[in-house]
Structure 1
Amino acid sequence: MAALARHLSAARQRSLLDTLAIGWPIVMAIGAVAGRLAGVGPACLLMAAAALILSGIAWRRVRRFDQAWLVQVLDARVPAFEDSSALLLRDSDGLQGLAALQQQRLLDRLAGAAALDLRPAWSWRWIASAVGASLVVSVTAAVWPRQNQTGPGGESAPSWPLPDKTRLVGVRLRVTPPAYTGQRPFDQTGLDVRAPAGSTIEWILSLRPEPASVNLSFPGQAPMNLAPTDRKWAGSRRFTASALYRLEASGLPRQRLHQLEMIADLPPTVRMLTPDRTLNLASADQAHWDLSFEARDDYGVANSAMLRLTVTRGEGEMITTTERSLPLTGHGTMRLKRFSTRLDLARERLEPGNDLIAQLVVWDNRSPSPQVVEGPAVILRQPPPGGLSDGLDGMARQILPVYFRSQRQIIIDAEALIAQRARTAPDVFLERSNALGSDQAQLRLRYGQFMGEEAEGGGPGLAIPTNDTPTLDLPTNDGPPPAAATQPEPHHGHSADDGHDHGSDTTTFGQMGDVVAQFGHAHDTGDASTLFDPGTRSTLAQALDAMWASERALRQGRPKEALPHALKALSLLKTAQQATRIYLARTPSKIPPIDLSRRLSGKRNGIRPDRFATTTRAPDDTPAMKAWQALGQTGKSGALPLDELARWVVNHQGRLADPLALSAQIDTVRNEPNCLECRQKLRALLWTALERPPVGVLRRSPADAGGQRYLDALR
């Protein structure tokens, strides 16, 4: 029905307008606040979002006015429809009987309902409240002063953009690092720059209204004028050192200082990979020497390097050197390269008693002047035929080989005893096996002295061979057995050189160590505690355990069970033989000489001061300390010693972590004395710049009246 459709359309239109009348002032107020706080762009985005939300609310309210709502309203407002308004919305062809008759009656009465106004009422209270609140918020946002706002580069923005005040509206900086760094150019919108040293900085600034001139002022340097291009101001400069600068323009309020922090190019570092020690001893049959180094740099290491080789010949003051350089090519990434080579010792003419010193020289890719670094030096020493001399790094002492033959002799005697078991009486066999166990016990006690163990009886002391002691070679399993093993004899027929211990028959030389071993009682000797590294001591401990097992089986008359333990002990001792050449430092402790002229004189001058010196802060930090204390006075913005503090920063910038930031903050506090946040930041920077005072001795507080009377009574 056309009349019913008009009623439904009018109700929906009224609901939409009512919703917009309430919500649109709120959207405008949100836009005003956002425009004041964040600018036009963010305000437009926020208003669009609010309008989208308002549209959703309006659509939900309009959807309520449908045919069901219309039937309900007609039944309530028009009694003549007799609660049968739904029949007006149905097709007459589908109705029959009483329903068709009732629909016809309602159509006759429809003319009376056409004059009804079914639109919902206006929400005047909500509309008035929304409009009033929107006006209040918009006016407040318009007149509210802008405080603590900064421009694109961090400079203070004016409280109100008056037409006659120049302001910075756009900042674009393009930083182009040096080509050798491999970094790409990048853009930023801030005026503070952090870039590699040697970078080119290009400024592109927009100011409104257009000033007559724009320049960048560098304290202590010539200013840089910016040229106008397409309603913008541009200029560029290459920087190799950090600096501070300020933007200056006609009509522009005084700006804060900004930092240009240049990251210095560090020199490359060289690490030795092969060999793993600085001093290396060449073996008798060594023909080559492998070297490997690793070079690392923050931007890149050159592909080529130079290996400096030095050969020293001679002794004492007759030493001569021969140098040559060997070019090397690195492999790896740009920042990490490895340089390896193999030296031919015959080519280098390395002879006994000579040293071959190798040192890698590398450089980075810095242009135009690369940084050259000399790596650690590694030495290959060819020992002289007679061993190392006292003029080298330490004294070489031969230890332990004299005892290796005794363990071998025990093994040979045990094998011979096992072979003769069938032809030997049981009591004689047990007696000879027990004698071998006794020899094994004496040998075990000898080696136990190296581990700090005490003797189990009155056995002989440990005899450490000296330079006059003949060195005995270690027998091996594949060598021919000694003559004593082919014709075994009873144990009471041993000779002086059969390798066994014979008590007092063992000859020791008249050294201090022998006297201590013979007449003293030492739980651990200095040599025993310092001659071995932990690995060698562990090997000797395992050898002692094997000797103990061998001794136990021999004393029980079971040489066949003792033989595996004796062989294991010999193998462990041969392993320990590799560490028997030990180098002892020859540098004595430096004790100051004693002044005998002052003895028994009673003079105590120079021994100790009469009073403890008071600890005072160095006067160099006095300006910084005064400024730090003055800045700590909360809520006060009095005069500060900023000029003196600025001079202190210039004089001590070598030890300050960030002198540029400190100088910039001093300038900010000078230009904005009422900025409490700026003062707090300067105080925090000063705290990190102050030197920590040394620990001083606190003076005792003076005695009161009662304490003074007590001290007087003591006197």
Structure 2
Amino acid sequence: MSGIDFINEVKQSYIRRKIAFYGLLSLAFSLVWLAIYFKWQPENSSSFTVLFIWGIGIFFLIWEIQKTRRISPAAIVQHLNRTQPELQESCHLLLTPPENLNLLERLQVQRLAPLLRALDPKKAIAISYNKAWFTLFLSLFLSAVILFLPYFSQEKTTLATTSEQPENQIKTTIKSVARIQSVSIRVIPPAYTHRLAYTLNNLNFKAEEGSRLTWVVRTTGNINNLQLNTAEKSKLTFRKVATKPNTYTTSFTPARSFIYTLDLNAKKSELYAVELLADQNPVISIQKPKPYSEIQFGEPQQVNVEANLSDDYGLQKANLVATIAQGSGESVTFREVPYPLSLNSIKSLKQHSVRKNIDLKALGMTYGDEFYFYLQAWDNHRGYARSETYFVQLEDTTVVTDGAALSLGVSVVPAYFRSQRQLIIDTEKLIQGKKVLTPIVVQERSNNLGADQKILRLRYGKFLGEESETVIGANPAAEHHDDDGHGHSATSKEPNNATELLAPYIHQHDTEEDATYFEPAVKAQLKAALAQMWEAELRLRLSQPEAALPFEYKALRLLKEVQQKSRAYVRKMGFDAPPLKEAEKRLTGELNKINAPDNIENRTEKQSYPFIRQALPWLSAQQPGFIKAGKEILLLQQAGQELAQITVNQPVKYLKSLKSLRQLITEVQTGKITCSPCLVTVAAAFESVLPQPTVPLTPQSVHRSPLAEQYFRNVK
């Protein structure tokens, strides 16, 4: 047997014996938990807890077994070197390949071979089973105790004891010790919520506004009286359920949030709060269009409305109400058009998306008209919501919309600035009629439109100094001839003549670029418009009216902007008052008839929460211990009533403080205060209820210069 085979055999033997050890522990652990489970037979929640703890224990045992399986040969070799002296701490040589050993190490391995054959793998790593067997026998004993010893239960002892008592005394005892065993609240939401009825076990709960609340109380015995008391001094008496023993119920529909107690046999319970959730109004969120938008000339005359509508319990319907304004001046007419909207659910019935496409041409709108709309939505109850009004305007290119026109503006632009729009209209008509016209007619009309575009371009070119189109695309400052009348000499042929070299840059004659009265920014924009006209003319000459139309629109837009910038204004004239002679008039007025107004008004401010204000100083001065209180008990009760009214609206914030106040009142009545945290909690609640005091205004000291002091003395 080789050294590596021996180490593997030692490892497998150790793993088998370790698994047997942990198996005994698992068996002992399982016997105890099975005995507990079969003896008491816990309910679902308790059964789950027992099984969960048992599963955790088994998991740790399996984890230890897996940890044992992952033991390495190096660890076994280290253990053998430490526990077997006869091996001379040379077992690590068994893991080294023979070709890597030197002569001395090979001799040592040959010497270890007979020692390994004589060594028992079970004794190489010893494992004691004493603890495992002791644990197993202990678990068997505990299981027997759990299963066989507790035969007589507490119920049998109680029955045996009570059977000897008189019957009347038994009934009295049962009534005196009767208590509330369980309480469940059934909530029936109103119809507008579309929710099914549900049951709650928490006495502090939230419910929908308008819900029907039903309390079902189970007691340990018969009771004389069980009431539900609210902070508004209303009382509801529980009635007994005939089909269920020791079960009582009452129900009502509250109008607002409230605080209540369950009083059993005139003994008050803790305070509980019921918060009613009011129905929220729908929420409208419009994504498209923007609150104010304008449809430019040439754009589709349509309004795409995209919105999201949501509500806490669902929507019933939604409408889009549009208002159309047509005309100008005193002849403006308005008409309203409603559009019912179809609700498309996004995630649930509570959220809906709305998409509506409105064709303005179908409504008879034209350029300059205005379109207003808003969305409105109704939920299943009484909720209603309306969005802001959105505004859409159709651009009217025939009207100058500069606000400075109110300042007597005078337009110096010729009338034919607006003829580019007529070209656009004719081009659109040609595009629409291509289906019924022959190609020759289409080509002829397109060519005629190109000629009209050329004429219009040349007219606008005059404003830039372009008298003809011979210089288009060339450098007019660089090309000159002998007979151009500029006085150039034809005999100048020198190659390095400085005049000719600098002529394109310092030419002093008037050029076409400078023969205008436009500002540089306006001139650049007008040049851009002429470039667009060039592109449109090119497409029209090639019988491509569809390709020419975008350039025509761009040219019209640039021309309208030029028209707005090229306006002259005349300053308004008004009345100029004569200058005042300050040296003669200053500080000469008579002030003897000027009296300072005296306004006297007596106001008595009504303080809020008067009892809380009176109780807070006394409460802050108290310490735990014996106390003698007289009127303070009534004062605390009155302050508690004020705090209860606040707690109805904010139960989460003040319910704990109200409970502490009730406990404090009980202790004050007994003459000894033992609850120190109650004093701090109630005092903090009283301080948070009271409004913050206003800071009185203090007169500020003003430091004036001697000149200012003299001025105020002269004024007085």
**What TM-score does the superposition give when structure 1 sets the normalisation length?**
0.46
**What TM-score does the superposition give when structure 2 sets the normalisation length?**
0.46
